[in-house]
Amino acid sequence: MTKLLLQCQLSPGDIVMLTAAVRDLHRLHPGRYLTDVRTSCPELWRNNPWITPLSARDPEVRHVECQYPLIHRSNREPWHFVHGFSQHLTGELGVPIHPTDFRGDIHLSPEEMTEPSPVATVFGETRPYWILVAGGKYDISIKWWHRRRWQEVVDRLRDEVLFVQVGEKEHFHPRMRGVLDLRGQTDLRQLVRLVYHSQGIVCPVTSLMHLAAAVPMPRGRIGERPCVVVAGGREPVQWEAYPWHRFLHTIGTLACCATGGCWKLRSVAMGDGHRNDAAEHLCTDFVPEEGLPRCMDRIEPLDVVQAVRAFLRFQSN
């Protein structure tokens, strides 16, 4: 058996997609590989049946730096992110690997599935809830929607949905009124459990949309976990969207994203010395009076509310 040590220090959403490639490698080539990982998010590999502990110093271990160069073809070819790492591993290992499921591969222990949700533990709240991500990382601020619009979504749905707001404390996540606030209070494993127990997720393009698909559904729940994504025009639909999500995009409606995502990084320069302030990384159609790229400005709070309500009608049947 070939010993593989897969390495990747990218963001949590990327690591969720790497779990899919590891699953597919073992499903398609059973018994041929022993696989261990060294990634930025070890919590996402907990309980993973495809992982075997290996020593990095073992001379028989092959080290592979995992990437997804397929992203550079995402605007002109019909690939999804779930293909990215598997195609790269196909080239590295010389064996065909393709997705065997349309999602990442996150595993929970029996204890994690039976324990009360973090919402019940922290707040004593046992009602069904949706997760809300109302911000994002500073390095890719073009993904942000305006806080006023997120607040309007919460206000319009206040009698229908209990929102639990999450977000890392070092990122931009403005406090919403009328929500349960777990910003900065969950590690990745707690976030996985939070997703497992949730009724749905509302977010920009971020790791939570990939966790929505990758975290298994509780036994007895019908369908897939709902997710409403405020996406705009940055990323091509086929690269990011899952068929059962509501992916609110503006691809094809503006010159800057007429044939695909613009892949810009910031709405405007933030003056923090980051390389993403360079002119080539900035939005080319910014709406100053709204504080948004035009692609995000064209998505209204009511669009998000209606998408959530469509899922609520399904869940109530």
* Amino acid letter, residue 107: H
Sheet with strand 33-39: strands edge to edge? 33-39, 2-8, 61-65
Task: Express each pLDDT in 124-142 by its tens digit.
Answer: 999 999 999 999 999 999 9
Query: Do the Cβ atoms of 22 and 35 come closer than 8 Å?
Result: yes
Mean pLDDT of the chain: 97
The pLDDT assigned to 317 comes to 72
Q: Is the pLDDT of residue 46 over 80?
A: yes
Q: Is 178 left (phi over 0), alpha (psi -120 to 50) or beta?
A: left
Q: How far apart are CA 82 and CA 86, in angstroms?
A: 8
* Predicted local distance difference test score (pLDDT) of residue 267: 97
Whole-prediction pTM value? 0.96
pLDDT, tens only, 259-271: 999 999 999 999 9
SS3 163: strand
Q: At what angle do helices 84-93 and 12-28 cross, to 10 degrees?
A: 50
